[in-house]
């Protein structure tokens, strides 16, 4: 079984998805892949000339560094809890989360996608969008949406 789990680089939600994958008993030889991503920082308007020239590059580099530490921590946790026969990998992917999750799952041939949820209400979803809702609606495999049990919202 191939199980990708995904995070939007918001720790309570990535932790919830990782914990759910770690909690389960998976078939022998299952593959688990953590795909961590973020939306690249871009200048919102042409008037961004007041921002230092390397501002967005520095923001993206900081996000990559943060993503690497999140990937390493999640993979270490899964390696401690899942059987040694499981293949556990992780990768950092830059891009828009809805597209990245769906594209990576299809490219990889996933059987199940596990994704964390911010727990937004209807109005917040309308304004901010819902990655988990888009993944559920468009994935070519099963999707499990994991909610953060302590009720913290993003």
Structural domain spans, the chain: 2-147
Question: In this predicted structure, what is the pLDDT of residue 99?
Answer: 87
Q: Taking Cα atoms as reference points, which of 96, 95, 88 lies closest to residue 71?
A: 88
Return the pLDDT at 44.
59
Which pTM value belongs to this model? 0.74
What would the pLDDT profile of 91-138 be if each residue is shown by its tens digit? Answer: 877 778 888 889 988 988 889 998 887 666 665 555 445 788 888 899
In whole angstroms, give the CA distance from residue 42 to residue 94: 13
- CA dist 39 and 52 (Å) reads 20
Q: Residue 36: is its pLDDT beyond 50?
A: yes
Domain 2-147 has CATH 3.40.50.620: yes
- Residue 116 DSSP one-character state: E
DSSP state for residue 33 in the 8-state scheme: E
Q: Answer for the pair 21, 15: CB distance below 8 angstroms, yes or no.
A: no
Q: What tokens were used for 29?
A: 């030889």
Range with the poorest average pLDDT among 16-20, 34-38, 56-60, 119-123: 119-123
């Amino acid at each position: 079984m191939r199980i990708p789990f995904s995070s939007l680089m918001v720790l309570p939600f990535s932790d919830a998805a990782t914990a759910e994958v770690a909690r389960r008993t998976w078939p022998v030889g299952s593959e688990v892949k953590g795909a961590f991503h973020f939306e690249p920082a871009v200048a919102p308007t042409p008037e961004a000339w007041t921002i230092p020239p390397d501002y967005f590059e520095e923001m993206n580099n900081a996000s990559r560094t943060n993503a690497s530490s999140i990937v390493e921590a999640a993979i270490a946790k899964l390696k401690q809890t899942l059987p040694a026969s499981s293949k556990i990998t992780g990768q950092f992917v830059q891009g828009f989360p809805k597209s990245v999750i769906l594209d990576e799952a299809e490219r990889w041939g996933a059987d199940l996608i596990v994704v964390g949820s911010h727990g937004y209400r209807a109005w917040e979803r309308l304004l901010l969008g819902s990655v988990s809702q888009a993944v559920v609606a468009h994935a070519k495999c099963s999707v499990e949406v994991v909610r953060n049990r302590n009720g913290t919202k993003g």
